[in-house]
Amino acid sequence: MSIGIRFSSLYFRLGFSGLGFAILALISIAAGSVSGQKIDDSFTYFRADAINGPNNTYRWNLIPEINIPGAAKGSPLRIVLKQNGKEVYSHTCNLAGETGTQTQACVPRNNSIAETGLFNVEVFLNDKLLRTYKIDIRKTTKQNNRRPEFYIQRHADAAVAYLSKSIANVLVLNMVFSPVEDYGKTFGYNIALKCTANGSPIVFGDKLTNFKQAANKVTSGFTEIRDPKAGILRDTIRFDQMAIQLPLTMGPVNISFAPGRGWPDAAKTPGKWQCDMYGEKTNGVFRTFRFEVAGGTVIPHPEQHSGNVNLDKDKWLIDLEIPKGGSEIDKRLLPSPNAGLFFGIPWSTAEGKAMAGRMSKKGEAFPN
């Protein structure tokens, strides 16, 4: 039996008005919590904020979002950008935010960057190097006498997905993709989820759930194309980070935070799960994801289990498959098995490399 997943009208309009990973954890065999000296890679997010530079030039600021669970509140965090081994940017700020372990307004407005291309992002806590990420900064063309946009391309992260458990014990699927405009006209705004566990179909109760943007984590830009006949056209590139609330729980629903919906409790069905997501209008497959449940929890993917990437408590890297040739929602897909995951962390396991390698190519990777 399938269930309809409704797109939240708050976040979705015709053509995706905007949507929007990295991981940290002191990882035990069952994916334990992070203990203060590892970044939650699934929380990490970088954005390039365009600004006007001197003499009619254009520059950008790095906007980082980093969380170090268990770190001493207010600890100094330093971010260093290097290009071809040369330092081009450095900034220190104290961890803050609601938990006291996150970056907050960690941007020196007088220290913008002119260069584009590939960068290493080194993250230090108390002068100890915790993680090196890699970002690829791209620049769009100038738009109607306005400044161009800078963006960080995330094609490699399209191969990655992880499950997280909400405070209500509801499972959420997290992923990144580059969508087409006006997808709803053909694919639909509602999708259907069909799951099996150990080959047996899962029967869902309440059909209401939603498919929405993840905390404003959207990377976007557009390039103008000047055509003598058509005039000025616009080619948009966007990477949307999604948090898809599933009609599944891991443990009983905590009705203090969410109403009881009669959703299946995956913790009570150990074994291998597979779920397919379909468009309501075309019945085309959007994504397939797989995970295994044992001992009342999700078994983390080998990339997480090995400690190569770190996820905080109640987050599990899982197996993701994109339909061959891409789904109707996908505008751009670029196989990037050597670019890594979560902003360029190199894959370390055969399972991870296989997951990244089976992505198809679709569309033009970057606007001209």
Nearest to 245 by CA among 304, 327, 168: 168
Q: In whole angstroms, what is the distance from residue 7 CA to residue 31 CA? A: 30
Q: In whole angstroms, what is the distance from residue 162 CA to residue 304 CA? A: 10
| Cross-strand partners of 191 | 5, 279
Which is higher by pLDDT, 51 or 206?
A: 51
Question: Which residues have C-beta within 8 Å of that of residue 61, sequence separation ≥ 6?
Answer: 48, 49, 51, 107, 108, 109, 111, 112, 113
- Predicted pLDDT at 97: 81
The single-letter DSSP state of residue 320 is E
- pLDDT surpasses 60 at 102: yes
- Predicted pLDDT at 224: 60
Task: For residue 54, name the pLDDT band (cuts at 50, 70, 90).
Answer: confident
Say how many CA atoms lie within 13 Å of 252 toward its Cβ. 3
Which is higher by pLDDT, 367 or 314?
A: 314
Question: Which residues have C-beta within 8 Å of that of residue 298, sequence separation ≥ 6?
Answer: 31, 163, 250, 266, 291, 292, 316, 318
Question: Which residues have C-beta within 8 Å of that of residue 117, sequence separation ≥ 6?
Answer: 83, 136, 137
- Predicted pLDDT at 59: 92
Q: In whole angstroms, what is the distance from residue 168 CA to residue 276 CA? A: 24
Say how many CA atoms lie within 13 Å of 108 toward its Cβ. 13
Q: What is the pLDDT of residues 58-70, one digit of tens each?
A: 899 999 999 999 9
Q: In whole angstroms, what is the distance from residue 56 CA to residue 123 CA? A: 32
Joined tokens for residue 11: 């976040």
Of 75-89, 182-196, 263-277, 341-355, the poorest mean pLDDT is in 182-196
- Predicted pLDDT at 367: 79
Q: What is the pLDDT of residues 20-44, one digit of tens each?
A: 333 222 223 233 334 457 999 999 9
What's the mean per-residue pLDDT of the chain?
82
What are the angstrom distances between the C-alpha of 225 and each of 117, 139, 152, 233, 235? 22, 14, 21, 5, 7
Q: What is the pLDDT of residues 283-340, one digit of tens each?
A: 789 999 999 999 999 999 999 999 999 999 999 999 999 999 999 889 999 999 989 9
Which is higher by pLDDT, 53 or 159?
A: 159
Unique residue bearing structure tokens 């987050």:
315
Query: Strands 76-83 and 231-249, how do they pair?
Result: unpaired
Q: In whole angstroms, what is the distance from residue 311 CA to residue 42 CA? A: 6
Q: State the average pLDDT over residues 247-266.
A: 82
Q: Where are the beta strands (DSSP E) in 187-344?
A: 191-197, 200-201, 210-227, 231-249, 271-279, 285-294, 297-299, 315-321
Which is higher by pLDDT, 108 or 87?
A: 87
Domains with residue ranges and CATH for the chain = 3-16+157-354 (no CATH), 45-152 (2.60.40)
pTM for this prediction: 0.85
